[in-house]
Structure 1
Amino acid sequence: MSEPRLPETLTAPVTPERLARMEEVARKRQFGLRVVLEDLENPRNISAICRLCDAFGIQFLHVIYRGIHPIVLDRRTSAGSHQWLTVIQHPTIDECICELKAMGFRIYATHVDPTAKEFTQVDYTQRVAIIVGNEGHGVSETARHLADERIVIPQVGFVNSLNVATATAIILAEAFRQRRAAGLYDTPELNEEERNTLIRQWLEREAAASGGHR
C-alpha cells in the first residue's frame, strides 16, 4: 500500500506507528456491513453504537434524524469512536432503505415478532444493513415493510426486550463471526485510493479533536 499523502492542515508530525495502525484498521473496514439508526433518542445509546461500529470494523453508520440541531453524543460512552466513522444522515427511513438497496444491500430490521427469524439464522456475509429502532417503539412499520428480513434475538426471561445498544452488540458480534469466518476481514473491501482518502480524513479529524497537537 502506498503511503497516503498527509493533509496539509496537520501541524504536528504523525508517527510511523500511528500511520501503520490507521492503515491496518482501514484494511479491515467493512463497506458491505452497515448499521441504520432509526429515530434513536438517547445520546448514550447512539454513542455506544458508534463505539460498537468502530470495534467491529463498520465504517458507515446511517442515521434517520429529522432534527435541526446536530446529534448530541455522550463522549465518555463513545470514547471518541464517532470521529472514525462516516455518518450519513437521512430525513426518512424509506429514502435510506431505497439508497441502500440501490447499492445492493439486503435490509435486516430488528423486531420482536413471532414471524421474525432468529438473528443467527440469516446471512451477514453479503451486503447487509441492520436497522435498529427507537428505544420506546422499535423500528417503524415502514422499516418492517421494506426490510428483506425481520430478525429477533431469542430470550427466555420475564422481560422480552433488551437495551438497543446491547441488542446491537449481540447482532454485530454474530455478523463479525460470520464475516471473519468467510475471510472478509482478510481482504480489503476498500481499494487503495479509498483507504488513503479514509486515512487522511481520520488524520484531519484526530488533529482537529486534539487542537492540532499529538
Structure 2
Amino acid sequence: MSDYRKLRNSELDRLNVADFKAANKTPIIVVLDDIRSLNNVGSVFRTSDAFRIEKIYLCGITATPPHKDIQKTALGATDSVDWEYRENCAELIEQLSQEGINSYAIEQTENATMLNDFAPEKTPMAVVFGNEVKGVQQKVIDQCAGVIEIPQIGTKHSLNISVSTGVVLWDLFQKLSLKA
C-alpha cells in the first residue's frame, strides 16, 4: 500500500474566479507576440493561472478568447487571468517601459542571461514570448531591458512556447517567492 493517495479535486483548495481576481498576484506580465497555435495560447493561460500571474497581453496575430481551441486547453483560465489584446508588441513594450516595467525577451541571443543566472530585481516585470518559428522579433528585443535564455543541452535547442512559458514562470515564481 502506498503512502500517497491521489487527492480529489474537492481537496485541492482551488480559488473560484472571484477570489482569484481579488487575490494578490505574482508581479509578472506575460506578453505573447504572434503566437500561431491556439492550443499554445490556451496552455499559457492555464500556466498563468497556476502561478497567479498579473496579466497576459496578446499581440499581433495571437488569437484572443473566446475561441474553442483556446478554451480546450485553458480550462477556464481565460476567465480568471486578466488579458488584453494589443496589435503592436514593440509599442506595448515601450509603454510598459514608460510605466517603469522592465520587459525581458525569452530568446536565444548574443549576451543573453541564462534563466538559472537571472535574478529579478524589479517587479512587476514582463516576459515576452515570440512566434513558434521565428521567435521574438528583433524590434521587440531591441525594446526590452534584457534577454533571458533557457539553458538547453540537447540537439534541438528549441522548446514549445507553452513549455518555455511553464519553465520561465515556474523559475521566476520560485525566485520571487523566495525574495518575499
Task: Tell me whether the two structures share a fold, i.e. TM-score over 0.5.
Answer: yes
Q: How far apart in 2 are the matches of 1:155 and 1:135?
A: 17
TM-score by length of 1: 0.70
In the other structure, the counterpart of 2:47 is: 52
Give every structure 1 segment of 4 or more consecutive aligned residues whose post-TM-superposition deviation is greater than 6 Å.
Answer: 17-21
Structure 1, gaps ≥5 residues long: 1-16, 184-214
More strand by share: 2
* Cα-Cα RMSD: 2.4
Q: How far apart in 2 are the matches of 1:158 and 1:51?
A: 28
Aligned pair 1:78/2:74, yes or no?
yes
TM-score by length of 2: 0.82
Q: How far apart in 2 are the matches of 1:33 and 1:83?
A: 18
Question: Which structure is richer in relative contact order (CA contacts within 8 A, separation 6 or more)?
Answer: 1
Contact 2:21 2:80 in 1 (8 A): no
**1:178 counterpart (153, 165, 175):** 175
Structure 2, gaps ≥5 residues long: 1-12
Identical residues among aligned pairs (%): 24
Q: What displacement does 1:125 show?
A: 4.9
Aligned pair 1:64/2:27, yes or no?
no
Q: How far apart in 1 are the matches of 2:143 and 2:17?
A: 39
Q: What displacement does 1:26 show?
A: 2.9
Contact 1:125 1:175 in 2 (8 A): no
The alpha-carbon distance between structure 1 residues 103 and 63, as it changes in their structure 2 partners (threshold 3 A), is same
Q: Describe the SS at the equivalent of 2:128.
A: strand
Aligned pair 1:110/2:106, yes or no?
yes
In the other structure, the counterpart of 1:193 is: none
